[in-house]
A and B are shown apart, each in its own frame.
Chain A
């Protein structure tokens, strides 16, 4: 597309490292709101849900990088590592808030993980993200080689899907918001599957 080149030229001068700092600021903001009453009278759930939602946003943002390049030509690939690591960071803090501030009781935590499908699914999604976070550095890419590294990182697709299903399952009834997120995730994944169709190749 017409704007792709100037945007890409401009982005060449924008390094990825500030994204780590800017991306982490909302965590502080969410906790600050929780402590000062900005999240209402149930700050624990407020913080927990917002961090989970931020995690999902980062994951979806990561999934958008390739389709965006393919459709518009705008290349954000050099920011994708930061996006992925931020997603992991938010989900990790989300999990810690659940463990420490919400459930609190260690025996119940384990029971919840085993017995509650939406927690089992959420936890599985988190565990799949661990090897991805650990290998999100140049040394690992070299060590694994690009082919193995890339196939390992396809686990992202599973992790995002599990995260979106986790959201759909944890609310009472069929609520619109989590279902919309799940549809978005499914659409982004389907887009990747049909990439080989000639009509969708970048013009």
Chain B
């Protein structure tokens, strides 16, 4: 996008994790002496630029964002991913981009991040289970990548696929979903500036439990649309299958836009529990399209969102 700050660093320039963890220990020690404590996010690393699309709401803590996750490949409990996802190897990550594109192929993280500038996008995140949090993602617009690989004129949808590694993912031995996890967007949804591929959170590289090294974020849709640890992106002319829709079509539609007026068959979507608010946190009314109507409502003009849930 024009006028945006351009990053001249590569993925390979990111400080190795062992080094920064070690450095943090040293600094934490020094900080503890000097200040009696030090905050994690104060040690910024990705240097993501601020964005006009960020909400002014206060992000949830690092602890909330990284210990309360749905990532069924690592277990169905909310704390399971934080406990189990350390086994995921993200070094040498590759994403296959295929289908109706001019430049199909296998892309490394360096290839993907070449020429993109990382932005911080502080978004509301609303899970289909009626809870929500505010997360400071770091990423770039999906349209940047799609434009670079050249979307062909026949393409109408984008399909995504999560890594499937039984050796590293204890949860896939259970048939709770039909693995690998797949998701999809309509092309215009994918090209919307709110839709990002995130590679970090809190200005740190993406933790494994949050979908390292690269995941989708679509802030006006229920969280399960924002597929994690992507290994394949396919441009197609037919609506792709999506995992939760395959598992239960009457409960999870292809669109799955946040909509307080359309109940989940088993619970209301009219309000949400705010995670991180403690024992007596008040429920919050859920906003149409998670409050992103001004940016995305046009995508659905003339569509019956009760039918196309």
Q: Which residues of A contact B (CB under 8 A)?
A: 34-35, 40-45, 47, 101-105, 108, 111-112, 115-118, 169-176
Contacts and interface: CB of A to CB of B under 8 A. Distances in A.
A101 B247 contact: no
B79 A170 contact: no
B73 to A, nearest CB: 13
B176 A174 contact: yes
A41 B248 CA distance: 28
Contacts of A42: 68, 78, 131, 273, 275
A171 B64 contact: no
B67 interface: yes
Contact of B268 (A34, A44, A108): A108
A104 B283 contact: yes
Given A104-B283, A108-B270, A117-B266, 7 more contacts: A34-B279, A40-B67, A40-B79, A41-B68, A43-B279, A45-B131, A115-B268
Given A44-B279, A104-B282, A171 B76 contact: yes
Contact of B76 (A34, A35, A175): A175
Contacts of A47: 279
Contacts of A101: 279-280
Nearest to B282: A104
Contacts of A118: 266
A45 B276 CA distance: 12
Contact of A170 (B174, B266, B282): B266
Contacts of A41: 60-61, 63-64, 67-68, 275-276
A88 to B, nearest CB: 24
B158 to A, nearest CB: 24
Query: 3 tightest A-B contacts by CB?
Result: A41-B64, A173-B176, A41-B68
A108 B276 CA distance: 22
B278 interface: yes
A180 to B, nearest CB: 12
Interface string B204-245: 000000000000000000000000000000000000000010
A181 to B, nearest CB: 14
Interface residues of B, number: 35
Contacts of A169: 266
A22 B290 CA distance: 46
Given A104-B283, A173-B248, A175-B176, A40 B68 contact: yes
B177 interface: yes
A94 B248 CA distance: 28
Contacts of B68: 40-42
Contacts of B280: 101
B182 to A, nearest CB: 15
A117 B275 CA distance: 25
30 contacts: A40-B67, A40-B78, A41-B60, A41-B61, A41-B63, A41-B64, A41-B276, A42-B78, A42-B275, A43-B279, A44-B279, A45-B131, A102-B273, A103-B283, A104-B283, A105-B271, A108-B270, A108-B271, A115-B263, A116-B266, A117-B266, A172-B76, A172-B129, A172-B244, A173-B72, A173-B176, A173-B177, A174-B176, A175-B176, A176-B174
A30 to B, nearest CB: 12
Contacts of A174: 175-176
A125 to B, nearest CB: 16
Nearest to A103: B283
